[in-house]
Amino acid sequence: MVLELSVYGGLFFTAFLAATFFPAQSEILLVTLLLAGGYPPWALVFVASVGNTMGAMLNWLIGFRFMHLMNTKWFGQETKSLQKAQHWYHRYGRWSLLMSWAPIVGDPLTLVAGILKEPARPVLAIVLFAKTARYIIVTVLTLQGGAYAGSIG
């Protein structure tokens, strides 16, 4: 029981961090757990999706306060990924959040949504959909690949 909680907690925490500006790769842990077996794939997808979405919502919340933070010395200059995200957001609006799963531009998109004062509910709904879809695709590909590899040996 304690081991299960630590596995799910570790996946949640890794997925949460992966959605922020901290370097983390939740997909690697998810694939490892899927290949190890012993955990229902739907539960792993659920935990990873919720953790990753909550991390994205933290970005949104920080973005909501972005202008205030811009004046602090520790915040620094705009990054290229943030500029790219702003371009995407101005071009496609809230639907650009469907790319919130993507490396490099995904995390800044959720920050930009907060900066532009996008309401939390549509951000949450779109981001949850995008991130869950990504984890489902990773899970299906992993399980199909694992089944294929098992039939070879």
pLDDT digit string, tens, across residues 93-150:
889 899 999 887 888 899 889 988 899 999 999 999 999 999 999 999 999 986 544 4
Which of helix, strand or coil describes residue 60? Answer: helix
Residue 138: which of 41, 54, 56, 47 has the closest Cα? 41
CB 112 within 8 A of CB 82: yes
pLDDT digit string, tens, across residues 3-40:
788 999 999 999 999 998 887 899 999 999 999 999 99
pTM for the whole thing? 0.83
Nearest-angstrom CA–CA distance, 84 and 105:
7
Residue 26: which of 5, 45, 3 has the closest Cα? 45
